[in-house]
Amino acid sequence: MTIQQKTSILILDDEPIVSKRLKPSLDKNGYEVETFVRSVDALSRIRERDFDIIITDLKMEGVNGMEFLTEAKRRSPATEVIVITGFATMETAKQSFSRGVFDFLAKPFKLGEILEVIRKAEIKRKEKAAAA
Amino acid sequence: MVSTSKFLKHLDTDRYLPAPLRRDLPAATGNGNHPVAGRFLVRDRSLTTMKKIISWANRTFYPEQKTAQRVPFTTLFSRFQHILSLNNQSMELIAEANDKLGGHYVFDQQYIRSFCEQLRELVDQLIYNLDGLVPQKYADLYKIFREINDDIAKELSGRLVIAGTDLVMPYAGISREYLNAVGGKNARLAEMKKVLGLRVPEGFAITARAFQSFMEFNELWPQVQKITDDWLQNRLGCEQASAAIMALIREATVPLEVKKAVQVALMQLRQLTGNKPLQLAVRSSAWGEDSEFSFAGQYKSMLNVAEENLFQCYKEVIASAFSPAAMEYRRQNGFGEQEMAMSVACQAMIDAAISGVIHTIAPASPRQTDLLISAAWGLGEPVVAGQISADQYTVSRKKPHKISAVSLVRKEKQLVLRPEGGTAMQQVAGARQNNACLTNEQVNQLATTALEIEQFFRAPMDIEFAVDRQGQLVILQARPLTLPAQTLQQHCDIAAIVSKYPVLMKDQGFIAQKGIGAGKVFVVNSSADLDYFPSGAVLVAKYASPLFARVMNRARGIITDVGSATCHMATIAREFRVPTIVNAGNATRVLTTGQDITIDAEENIIYAGTIDELCFYGLTTERLEETYEYRLLRRILNRIEPLYLVDPTEANFTPEGCRSLHDIIRFVHEKAVEGLINLHYTQQHDPLTLSGKLKWELPLDMILIDIGGGITARAKSGDIAIEQIASIPMAAFVKGLSSPGAWNNEPLSVDMASFMSSLTRTMPTELASPKYVGQNLAVISRQYANISLRLGYHFTIIDAYVADNLNDNYIYFRFAGGVSDLTRRSRRARFLQRILTENDFVVEVHEDLVIARIKKLPAIDIEAKISFLGLLVGFTRQLDVLLLSDQHINQFVSGFEMLLKKNTQP
């Protein structure tokens, strides 16, 4: 295996089960994963460092997902954001995309589905990097 | 959406209307708007005189409503259609929820809540609409529905639900499904004995239901509530509150029903343990004691208890549920005191010569390569409580379990059983104080057993054991080991490690049981090979056979070439929690006996070599099945999915017989079909509905009532030609009935004249509505037909629905009554049973009544089945006369088959 920078992923969901299920799968697929259940903690983390990919829920106590991802994109436009939500409506989807969200996944989703979306986000990042 | 309150309101309205005025339920608008305006309503049962007056007033002022009381048939039919659609939606929703347990999905509590909410709405509407179809007939359904929903709501809020368990359960009858009722300690002991065949104390659980019964019988909850309130509002200290509650429990009486159940269990226990007076260990096995909420060590255990003191000790143990520490813990974690439920373990006391504790992962072992055994003389309680020092053995987790370190201490004291009951600390004889209490063989046996338990529960374990006076190892308790956070969260780069190992197989077949295991391949070619199956090997075989069950407790994994995730072996593998991949295609060719492999039945990859890191990773990652969400969904599905009402002819096929939402869904469906079938004998049809007499060659009168798209155009004369039938099922039926040979089949040598006369015979009046005596009737729409054929005394009903969604499609066929004696009639029933069964119907026969059902076929196949029924009805009409002997059945079966062949060939 070539020495290569791992793709970093931040997961934010107020239900711990989501991170609990995603992390082992992403670990095994060679990603560097950090997980958060409180949006304030995730917010302070993205002020410390940038992530390649952010996976976030929308409806949360305190800072909601939309505010969080808006801040994340403002700080690091290169970060690709994947929204996961159980309250998927056209309106939230539209709003997410207008904020530059890469993709929108309705919960519950299959592990395979989110891995696929992450791979696509990685490709997009590479293409953007090549173009720059 | 129809809300509960609306439903109840509407029930009230109807209940209090005088019988002659009781209106049929309103139109199937589904929005709960009932056309009650313009009517005087009586809402109070006591106002009899008032009712009479209002009855008179209604008759006088609203005379037109006398006829309008009847609900139009189309309305009922659309209600029926609505029921079908709700039925489908519910079944799909349940199936989807079931998928979520398969391991591929990420779902959260929000999903579970919204699933329950959606299903609740659907079932609510189903009941509401059934009530519209057959008013008041199954009003109790709503009560049952509410009970099940209350249980589900309790589950969702994290409260304990103990549905229908016994007060006392012997270990032999306990499986992990009863976890809530018996607590983790009892459940795991029972499972280790049953599945792994390990020695555990014989015993029984006094369940959480017995606890609830105890609290309710003594009316303790209100008092507990009051004391708790005082404490929460700082009027009482925690110690005082605890003491007050414990005193209440000690003074209370164990209910007779609990006592009786315990006495029976004690008698059985005596029989199991050599018919001597019992000495018991009475231990807590509380709900949540060591799962999501760590109450471990909070509760009391009583040792060496004589039978006659059992109930006193039982009260002591349940009183410990209200220790200051436990109450404080519940307060901090937001549990109400009423959510407390203590199950108790009653075990035959083990007279331990040596006792100890095993941690399958030694806390100080940085590489997680070792396990740790502590052991001391006598009973184990002081070892667990840290009151006495114990020898410690650090042992490799790998075979042959080399002892890497021994730390022997001076063991001056031991806890022993007192002959008169209870326990006492005793001086250990001088010479033994410094002796190691375990032999190397015992250490090895403990390590092997502990890892077997770990493998089974698929988590690092904390195990208490004893070696009895006969030198036998007994497992006293096993629970998941809480590892220090840093052990779990160390950033080992699992992907990088794994990438160094060659992949032998990837994504071949299906995962039947998730998990990770490593071991040497052992290819099983015949069941005889199983005798040589080495402990800790990976079983590889061509076919998935349930015979593998006998080695599964020793297998680290199973891979088969052929098999399905639902096959019997897969079910057993799940019970043993052995990582299993089935239908992998060529495992027996790729893998050879003796080869070291690692099976990752999470990602479906087989690696060459042993990847310890991956195994450890698998062990310390919380298993999906162990997560709160998974177990919550599974528990909730247990209230939803099982079907207990299997047979509509059984006595329990009643609203009271419904135990799950599935039962209710099924019941509503069945009764809706039945309701609609019954309705047009009692229901006066809407005069506006299009109807007419079928004009055809066959000598039988058939009235068609079109309730929507069943007839192409209004017939002027009132007659309807065959070509005008637009109803798909009706057209199919007519096609079958008028097939060549159906009415004039030569092989039967039917005397046409006598046959015709039987057709025109009038029906007994009780079988038909007065208006249609002697007529044959079909209520049809584009997709639906409800056909009642009165062939002589033969009374045949066909109810069929054909739509694009195959889940909506069904045929209900009923054949009954006859002119001959019962023997001949039952021959005809047998004939029909054979033919219908051979043609894929599900058939019930009760003397001369034949009911056949078929459903969920594509439209084209359902049509073919309806035509087939047409042919069969024609063929069968005179059979009772001709079936003179049993041999005739075979003859007629082949006769019909020939006819069917002739008519279905293009």
Domain B502-610 sits in CATH at 3.50.30.10
**Which fold is adopted by the domain A8-131?**
Rossmann fold (3.40.50)
Q: Chains A and B: how many Cβ contacts under 8 Å? A: 61
A109 in contact with chain B, both atoms CB, cutoff 8 A: yes
Mean pLDDT over each residue of chain A, to the nearest integer = 90
User: B541 with B523: CB under 8 angstroms?
Assistant: yes
Q: Which residue has the higher pLDDT, B752 or B125?
A: B125
**A24 contacts on B by Cβ (under 8 Å):** 602, 617, 621
CA dist B841 and B838 (Å) reads 7
A1 in contact with chain B, both atoms CB, cutoff 8 A: yes
Per-residue model confidence (pLDDT) at position B262: 95
Pick the CATH number of B202-348 from 3.30.1490.20, 1.10.287.3510, 3.40.50.720, 3.55.40.20: 3.30.1490.20
* pLDDT beyond 70 at B554: yes
Per-residue tokens: B531: 């005798």
Per-residue model confidence (pLDDT) at position B7: 30
CB-side neighbour CA atoms (13 Å) of B669: 25
Per-residue tokens: B869: 């029924």
Question: Using the beta-carbon criterion (under 8 Å), do A86 and B114 form an inter-chain contact?
Answer: yes
Task: Of B658, B633, B641, give the one whose Cα is nearest residue B155.
Answer: B633
A43 in contact with chain B, both atoms CB, cutoff 8 A: no
* pLDDT beyond 90 at B19: no
**B499 contacts on A by Cβ (under 8 Å):** 1, 30
Show Cβ contacts of residue A37 under 8 Å, excluding neighbours closer than 6 positions: A12, A13, A14, A15, A16, A19
pLDDT tens string B125-168 = 999 999 888 888 898 999 999 999 998 988 887 666 666 678 99
* pLDDT beyond 90 at A117: yes
pLDDT tens string A84-106 = 988 877 888 888 888 899 999 99
Of residues A13, A20, A108, nearest to B105 (C-beta): A108
Residues B295, B175, B171, B255: is their CA dihedral positive or negative?
A: positive
* pLDDT beyond 50 at B749: no
Per-residue model confidence (pLDDT) at position B196: 87
* pLDDT beyond 60 at B898: yes
Range ranked top by mean pLDDT from B166-175, B337-346, B347-356, B826-835: B347-356
Q: Which residue out of A11, A21, A56 would a mutagenesis test of the B interface target, given it has the greatest number of B Cβ atoms within 10 Å?
A: A21
User: B188 with B142: CB under 8 angstroms?
Assistant: no
Number of H helices, E strands in chain A: 5, 6
Per-residue model confidence (pLDDT) at position B349: 94
Per-residue model confidence (pLDDT) at position A35: 95
Of residues A1, A24, A108, nearest to B107 (C-beta): A108
Per-residue model confidence (pLDDT) at position B16: 26
Show Cβ contacts of residue B197 under 8 Å, excluding neighbours closer than 6 positions: B553
Which B residues, 468 through 497, put their C-beta within 8 Å of a C-beta on chain A?
494-496
The amino acid at B869 = L
Of residues B104, B495, B496, nearest to A111 (C-beta): B104
For helices B859-876 and B822-838, the axis angle rounded to 10 degrees is: 160
pLDDT tens string B582-612 = 989 999 999 999 999 999 998 899 999 999 8
**Nearest-Cα residue of chain A relative to residue B626:** A17
Which B residues, 81 through 100, put their C-beta within 8 Å of a C-beta on chain A?
100
Q: Which helix (H) or strand (E) holds B837?
A: helix B822-838
CA dist B248 and B319 (Å) reads 9
CA dist B102 and B98 (Å) reads 7
Per-residue model confidence (pLDDT) at position B9: 30
* pLDDT beyond 60 at B762: no
Degrees to nearest 5, angle at CA B52 with B51 and B54: 65
User: B292 with A17: CB under 8 angstroms?
Assistant: no
Q: Where are the domains of chain B?
A: 1-69, 202-348, 352-468, 502-610, 689-904
* pLDDT beyond 70 at B64: no
Bridge partners (DSSP) of residue B327 are none
**Poorest-confidence range of B247-256, B598-607, B678-687?**
B678-687
B628 in contact with chain A, both atoms CB, cutoff 8 A: yes
pLDDT tens string B71-95 = 676 777 778 768 877 876 787 788 7
Q: In Å, how far is B621's CA from the nearest CA of chain A?
A: 7
Task: Of B539, B547, B542, give the one whose Cα is nearest residue B521.
Answer: B539
**A29 contacts on B by Cβ (under 8 Å):** 495
Q: Which helix (H) or strand (E) holds B764?
A: none
CA dist B702 and B694 (Å) reads 5
Q: Is B157 exposed, middle or buried (0-12, 13-18, 19+ CB in 10 A)?
A: exposed
Residue A56's pLDDT band, with cuts at 50, 70 and 90, is very high
Domain B352-468 sits in CATH at 3.30.470.20
pTM above 0.90, yes or no: no
C-beta atoms surrounding B163 within 10 Å: 16
In this prediction, what percent of chain B has a pLDDT beyond 70?
76
User: B676 with B133: CB under 8 angstroms?
Assistant: yes
* pLDDT beyond 80 at B678: no
User: Which SS3 state, helix, strand or coil, does residue B708 take?
Assistant: coil
Question: Using the beta-carbon criterion (under 8 Å), do A28 and B498 form an inter-chain contact?
Answer: yes
DSSP string, B326-363: HHHHHHHTT--GGG----EEEEEPP-EEEEEEEESS-T
Per-residue model confidence (pLDDT) at position B68: 37
pLDDT, average across residues B744-748: 42
* pLDDT beyond 60 at B249: yes
Show Cβ contacts of residue B350 under 8 Å, excluding neighbours closer than 6 positions: B201, B281, B466, B468, B474, B476
Which B residues, 161 through 180, put their C-beta within 8 Å of a C-beta on chain A?
none
pLDDT tens string B393-440 = 999 988 889 998 888 888 888 999 998 889 999 989 888 888 899 999
**B494 contacts on A by Cβ (under 8 Å):** 27-28
CA dist B539 and B521 (Å) reads 6
C-beta atoms surrounding B663 within 10 Å: 24
Bridge partners (DSSP) of residue B813 are B798, B852
CA dist B393 and B341 (Å) reads 37
Of residues A18, A110, A112, nearest to B108 (C-beta): A18
Residues B295, B455, B368, B504: is their CA dihedral positive or negative?
A: negative
CB-side neighbour CA atoms (13 Å) of B398: 11
* pLDDT beyond 50 at B788: yes
DSSP state of A118: H
**B100 contacts on A by Cβ (under 8 Å):** 108
Mean pLDDT over each residue of chain B, to the nearest integer = 78
What is the ipTM score, two decimals? 0.92
* pLDDT beyond 50 at B756: no
Per-residue tokens: B543: 């076919």
